[in-house]
Amino acid sequence: MKKTILLSFMLLAAICVKAQQTEDRWSVGLAAGWNGVAYQNGKRPNLTLEGRYLLPHGIQVGAQGTYFHKPMPSNNTYNAFSLSLRGSLHIKSMLGTSDPRWDFYAGTGVGYHWFRHTALEKSVNQFFVPVFVGTEWRFAPHWRLSLEISYNDASMLRLGVSRSF
Task: For residue range 32-75, list pLDDT tens digits in order.
Answer: 888 654 445 556 778 899 999 999 888 999 999 988 877 767 77
CA nearest to 88, candidates 1, 162, 4: 162
Q: Are the beta carbons of 47 and 160 closer than 8 angstroms?
A: no
Local confidence band at 99 (pLDDT 50, 70, 90 cut-offs): confident
Q: What is the dihedral of CA 145, 93, 132, 140, to 10 degrees?
A: 0
Domain CATH code at residue 71: 2.40.160.20
Local confidence band at 137 (pLDDT 50, 70, 90 cut-offs): very high
Q: Which residues in 76-113 are b (16+ Cβ under 10 Å) and which e?
A: eebbbbbebebebebebbeeeeeebeebebebbbebeb
DSSP 10: H
- Give the domain extent around 19: 2-164
The total domain count for the chain is 1
